[in-house]
Structure 1
Amino acid sequence: MLQEKYKDLPAGEETNDEYLVAGRVMAIRNTGMFIDLMDGSGKIQIFSHKENMDAEKIKTLKLVDIGDIVGFQGTVRRTPRGELSIKATDFKLLSKSLLPLPEKFHGLTDVETRYRQRYVDLIMNEDVRDTFRKRSLIIQKIREYLAKQGFLEVETPILQTTASGANARPFTTHHNALDMGLTLRIALELYLKRLIVGGVSERVYEIGRCFRNEGIDTRHNPEFTMIELYQAYADYNDMMTLTENMVAYVAQEVLGTMKIKYGENEIDLTPPWDRKTMLGSIKEATGVDFMEIYDAQEAIKVAKTLNVHVDDDMNWGQVVEAVFEDKIEPSLIQPCHIIDYPREISPLAKVHRDNDRLTERFETRINGWELANAFSELTDPIDQRSRFEAQALAKANGDEEAMELDEDFITSLEYGMPPTGGMGMGIDRLVMLLTDSQTIRDVIAFPTMRPIDNK
């Protein structure tokens, strides 16, 4: 605040404007005459001299260490070298740092320590502080955009009796009073759809934590944040438009541009984005038209000739997805919607209006990643039960990520659900994209880590 207010104060000028400032001591020079003080708004220099401060105070000030949190009172000046400063007349030690901060020139460079002791990482690295401020702003702007579009923000249960809404392995727990098993939610989807059935609003969304008991890598953390939204009387075409407009709006509001840089890639988020069918993309890249293949075993043979790893018990849709992820996905740097997914791998999506082997589903791909997943939602309770039963069979045969059958959700569909478009997006990945962060751990303040004493 002071830096902005006094940006035009000439070098060597002093004012009679008196302030109280407080922050963390980040540097001490000339035996305490000059101190760099940092707070949430930035850094300011403190100038202390016996001409301006009581001798006993000066003596006590020499006991202040780097890392201490100190309050100063004084007037604003700019040094002859142009440094905005507070000419201190008094100070008070507010909190003592008992542990030393990392040495300035080497800083906090150990990655494990940075994630385990994020508080130290934040103290030492302005770019880390900036990332988490941008994360907050990104979420704020998502809410702002959706409010303008008439969406109602809602909350749904985190503890659930059935793990469904996504293909993932859940965390399980036990409720003692009710003597029943519960899972932490793996997705937001099914309760939001219940709200569409109930008519609380024709447009609902939730931003919340989900939990999946799976691996950890640069794009996956067991505890993560996502947004899901649902719009009645819409389909996946509407969701494509909404997705690209929302991401572009957030980028413009947060970064001031829709053209961003991620690593070595220049990415243009300006709508409209390309739309490509999954099967068409595969045919274009490999020459193979999987729509002409009906038998799963034949699809597996063809995939193996393309040097794609597939399991011998995969169905046709799983093979198509495996070929796509191996041959196409890494090259999708500019934003695009990959549309019309196989029915077998899309248990919650509506059957395609022109081809019953496919669904009206798309995934948004940017920088070789999946950013969003969306459908024309399946609203037929009979078809939904059939697909849940197929998932249950897969789970019984050892697929730990297959969805569980949710009877209450099917009951809700039996009351009638309007045609609906839905979309889910990983907030953490969006933050990675807009902050040029190379791992999800850089955008989650406290990522999941193995305890030091449990190596």
Structure 2
Amino acid sequence: MSETPPTPDVTEGDERTKLDEIVATRRAKVEQLRDRGVEPYPVRFAPTTTVADLVAAYPDLEPGTETGDRVTVAGRVVAKRGMGRLSFLVLQEDDAQVQLFCPVKALDEPSRDLLELLDTGDWLGAEGEVLATKTGELSVKPASLTLLGKGLRPLPDKWHGLSDTEARFRQRELDLTVNADARRVFRTRAAVLKALRAELDDRGYVEVETPMLHPIPGGAAAKPFVTHHNALDTDLYLRIAPELYLKRLVAGGMRRVFEINRSFRNEGMSPRHNPEFTMLESYEAYADYRDVMDLTEALLQRAALAAVGSLELTYGGRPVSLAGPFRRVSLLDLVREATGRPELSYDDDVATWREVCAAHEVLIEDAWGQGKLALEVYEALVEHTLWDPTFVIDYPVEVSPLARRHRDLPHVTERFELIAVGREHANAFSELTDPDDQRGRFEAQVRAKAAGDDEAMPLDEPYLRAMELGMPPMGGLGVGVDRVVMLLADVHNIRDVILFPTLRPEVAP
């Protein structure tokens, strides 16, 4: 029984018909296998080596060499061709491939019967001798084949691959099967996460877990997802950030804590934003935002060395250096430079800042004060231009409700964002530990929400109670893990670094 994979020059209806025919053909093979006493979906198999280790163990076999060494390998069949009484299969496991050189006479009888019913996409085990063919191809010459999982759907045509972006995100298992670059990206992600944990562990941080269901959507300015707990008959919110719970742990005496967490924000989607995303948040007693800048630089550098082996990267064809030390510059100075207004100050009245916004076509709202207007100018004119890693420091109080007021400057906080390749990768503060100041900030947020700001924070009495217990000086950090992976993997859509990104539900055919 043969099958022909769908081709791009047929209509969608024709393609669906061909797919249905292929699936029907493969289901018939399943029945044939069972009729012959072969279970198409066995429970266990025991390879003696991985394909990658096999390839590494025999790097220089001369053509025609028979080693006499016997191995058992397993993987997915990604190519199959026959030449009379000789068949060739290509077995893939992760990124490694090895050829199965299959003279029919060398196979036991059950394996001969199985060979004719194999398709690309099937999972297969093989036991046999390691050799190099006359053309020098490293191969295993099986004495026996074991079907490990029959594939009912075909792999994409190898000449056209899986080019449909929507299909790649929706069927990540298929993407990982046929796209080596997808496998590279997620190996990079794993290396980043491991490196971040290792750096914090080396510094004495304790990894913790805090709730994902919150009674109050706090810790960031964002719209939450709302759900309902039936037993308690109360609404709960998927966390938008773990910040307030983590700081309560520091108030309880845990000096250094961190969490690599999934957070959720019920907002728009873009190449930089997914409603479900991964953050690293850390908090350290006795530290300020300058200490946290040093930590952030070390984290990013360790992740880069672990994931790509260098601090000198290329992103979108343009070099970017993580060698450090990263530039540190205030938000106000960047706005002054971008607008050509070196005299600008937060002491200027709102009318002056509105004129600056109007001159640069920055949209504003009537309720915004000088700090918010300055932030809008910065985001419109400056942020996207910052390429090499830059700590943008000293954000206005108005837009930093959880950050400590600057020790010397009255209108700003000790807050920074790390910007690289034109986007934010981290946000951090010298944390606000004065409960009365925090209550006043929360009350201002409540007023902003009443005035129509859907992203303003509510007043969180349990957190204020923890602050009133007493908090030490503290430095806090939030790192967008997905964005760090995007930077280090040189990809430009956040959905490329999330295994199963949020998508619109499929429409049934």
SS in 2 for 1:89: strand
Correspondent of 2:184 among 130, 133, 148:
130
Give yes or no for contact 2:114–2:145 (8 Å, CA) kept in 1: no
Equivalences for 1:114-263 in 2 at 5 Å?
114-199=168-253, 201-263=254-316
Output the CA distance in 1 between the equivalents of 2:230 and 2:435: 33
Output the CA distance in 2 between the equivalents of 1:423 and 1:116: 32
Equivalences for 1:6-17 in 2 at 5 Å?
6-17=58-69
Q: Report Cα offsets for 1:394-446 as digits up to 9, x if no partner.
A: 11111100111100101111111000000101110011011011100000000
Aligned to 1:66: 120
Aligned to 1:18: 70
Equivalences for 1:280-295 in 2 at 5 Å?
280-288=333-341, 289-291=343-345, 293-295=347-349
Aligned to 1:268: 321
Equivalent AA in structure 1 for residue 297 of structure 2: E
Output the CA distance in 2 between the equivalents of 1:36 and 1:424: 45
Output the CA distance in 2 between the equivalents of 1:143 and 1:227: 9
Percent same amino acid at aligned positions? 48
Give yes or no for contact 1:78–1:85 (8 Å, CA) kept in 2: yes
Output the CA distance in 2 between the equivalents of 1:54 and 1:91: 8
Equivalences for 1:383-398 in 2 at 5 Å?
383-398=437-452
Q: 1:51 offset after TM fit, Å?
A: 3.2
TM-score (norm 2): 0.87
TM-score (norm 1): 0.97
- How many residue pairs match? The answer is 454
Give yes or no for contact 1:138–1:431 (8 Å, CA) kept in 2: yes
Output the CA distance in 2 between the equivalents of 1:53 and 1:223: 50
Correspondent of 1:77 among 127, 131, 140:
131
Q: Report Cα offsets for 1:60-96 as digits up to 9, x if no partner.
A: 3022001111111111112232321101111011111
Q: 1:190 offset after TM fit, Å?
A: 0.3
Output the CA distance in 1 between the equivalents of 2:298 and 2:56: 33
Structure 1 range deviating more: 180-189 or 51-60: 51-60
Q: 1:372 offset after TM fit, Å?
A: 0.2
Q: 1:30 offset after TM fit, Å?
A: 2.5
Output the CA distance in 2 between the equivalents of 1:21 and 1:372: 44
Equivalences for 1:106-117 in 2 at 5 Å?
106-117=160-171
Correspondent of 1:341 among 395, 401, 405:
395
SS in 1 for 2:136: coil
Aligned to 1:279: 332
Give yes or no for contact 1:317–1:342 (8 Å, CA) kept in 2: yes
Output the CA distance in 2 between the equivalents of 1:88 and 1:2: 14
**Could you say which structure has the larger radius of gyration?**
2
Q: Report Cα offsets for 1:320-371 as digits up to 9, x if no partner.
A: 0110011111110000100000000000000001111000000000000000
Runs of at least 5 residues in structure 2 that lack an aligned partner in the other structure: 1-52
Q: 1:294 offset after TM fit, Å?
A: 3.1
Aligned to 1:416: 470
Aligned to 1:365: 419
Structure 1 range deviating more: 232-241 or 49-58: 49-58
Q: 1:285 offset after TM fit, Å?
A: 2.0
Equivalences for 1:47-66 in 2 at 5 Å?
47-54=101-108, 57-66=111-120
Aligned to 2:42: none
Equivalent AA in structure 1 for residue 218 of structure 2: S
Equivalent AA in structure 2 for residue 283 of structure 1: R
Matched, 1:433 2:487: yes
Give yes or no for contact 1:285–1:327 (8 Å, CA) kept in 2: yes
Output the CA distance in 1 between the equivalents of 2:179 and 2:408: 54
SS in 1 for 2:120: coil
Equivalent AA in structure 1 for residue 380 of structure 2: D
Give yes or no for contact 1:36–1:44 (8 Å, CA) kept in 2: yes
Output the CA distance in 1 between the equivalents of 2:179 and 2:210: 36
Equivalent AA in structure 2 for residue 356 of structure 1: P
Output the CA distance in 1 between the equivalents of 2:414 and 2:291: 12
Equivalent AA in structure 2 for residue 13 of structure 1: T
SS in 1 for 2:106: coil
Q: 1:207 offset after TM fit, Å?
A: 0.2
SS in 1 for 2:91: strand
Equivalent AA in structure 2 for residue 128 of structure 1: A
Structure 1 range deviating more: 370-379 or 70-79: 70-79
Output the CA distance in 2 between the equivalents of 1:388 and 1:404: 7
Matched, 1:94 2:148: yes
Runs of at least 5 residues in structure 1 that lack an aligned partner in the other structure: none
Output the CA distance in 2 between the equivalents of 1:414 and 1:313: 31
SS in 1 for 2:470: coil
Q: 1:8 offset after TM fit, Å?
A: 3.1
Correspondent of 1:40 among 94, 113, 129:
94
Output the CA distance in 2 between the equivalents of 1:135 and 1:406: 34
Q: Report Cα offsets for 1:286-314 as digits up to 9, x if no partner.
A: 12243154322331122111222222332
Give yes or no for contact 2:111–2:146 (8 Å, CA) kept in 1: no
> How big is the alpha-carbon RMSD for the aligned residues of Structure 1 and Structure 2?
1.4
Output the CA distance in 1 between the equivalents of 2:272 and 2:77: 35
1:292–1:149 CA distance, 2 compared to 1 (3 A): closer
Give yes or no for contact 1:265–1:333 (8 Å, CA) kept in 2: no
SS in 1 for 2:151: coil
Q: Report Cα offsets for 1:253-280 as digits up to 9, x if no partner.
A: 2211001111022110012100010001
Aligned to 2:57: 5
Give yes or no for contact 2:346–2:370 (8 Å, CA) kept in 1: no
